[in-house]
Amino acid sequence: MKKREIGKSGIYVSELGLGCMSFPDNLNEVKNIVNAAIHAGINFFDTADLYAGGRNESIVGEALKDRRDEIILATKVGNRMVPGEEGWRWDASKEYIKEAVKESLQRLGTDYIDLYQLHGGTMEDNVTGTIEAFEDLKKEGVIRQYGISSIRPNVIERFLTNSSAVSVMMQYSLLDRRPEEWFPKIREAGASVITRGTLAKGLLTDEGISRAEKMDGFVEYGAKDLKRTVGVLHETTNAVHAHAIAFNLKEDVVASALIGASSKDQLLDSIVAYEKSVDQSKLASMAQLTESHRYKQHRG
C-alpha cells in the first residue's frame, strides 16, 4: 500500500487509514481487524478519548501493543467527560489538554502519540492556549505532531494560521464535497487533509442503494435527491466502493482516507476496493453527478 506524508511532518501514513471508532468491544475481534489491516499495509490508526468513554483507546492500545513500532497512532482531545455527568463538555484549555494526554497515553499503553488532534473547536476557544499546549507536548516528546478535526471553516483557518498544525480531519466524499473549497488554503499552510466519512455512511458501497432507501437525507441532500444521486452513481459503475476511495485520494492534499470497520470482512471489502484499478477519467464524470455544496455556517 502506498504511503503519503502528512504535511511536511516527516510522518508517512498509508493511503487507507483505519478509523477505530466502530471497533467492537471484543479484544480478539479487534486484534483480527488490526492484524489484517497491518498485513495489507495499513499503518495509520485513528481513535479518540471520547469514543466509548475511553474504552476505544484502551482496546486499540491493547490490540497494537506488540506492533507499536509498525504503526502511526492518532487520537483526539477536547471533549471532556466529567465523572457523574452524562455526556461531555467542550474543553480546549491548555490545562485540560496537558492533563488529558496523560490519560490517553495510559489507555493506549504508549509513551508518545504520533498525531494528536483537537477534536472540534469553537471561536470562543482561547486558541493561543490551545496551541501552546500542543507545542509544549511536542517539545516534551509526548506527541510528534498535532492537527485539528473540524468542519468549521473559521475555526480551521484560525488554527492553521496561528499554529504549525500538520493536518485537518474533515468529512469528505463524493457525496460530501464541502471541504474542497478549503483544500487550497490547507495546502498553502503546508498541511494535509485526513478524510473521514470516506464511504458516506455506506452509501458509497455495494449496499448504497438499500441504505439510501432507509435514509431521510445526507448532508445537503434531501431524501429524494439522495436516492436519485446514489442510484445514478451505481448505474455509472459496478465498483462504487473503489471509485469512492480513489476519488478522495486523487487530491494530493489528502494524506489518508479513513475507513471504518466493525469486522474483519468489512475491512477486507475496503482493502479490495482500494487495490482495484479504476479509470481516473470516470472519477471526473462521477463528480459531475454530485453536488459541490458549501459550508453555510461558521464562516468568519
Active site (catalytic) residues: 51
**Close Cβ partners of 79 (under 8 Å, ≥ 6 residues apart):** 48, 49, 50, 88, 89, 90, 91, 119, 120
**Stretch (H or E) spanning 132:** helix 127-140
Exposure of 109 by Cβ count < 10 A (0-12 exposed, 13-18 middle, 19+ buried)? middle
Q: List % helix, strand, coil for the chain (3-state, nearest 5).
A: 45, 20, 35
**Close Cβ partners of 85 (under 8 Å, ≥ 6 residues apart):** none
Going by the DSSP 8-state scheme, the letter that residue 173 receives in this structure is B
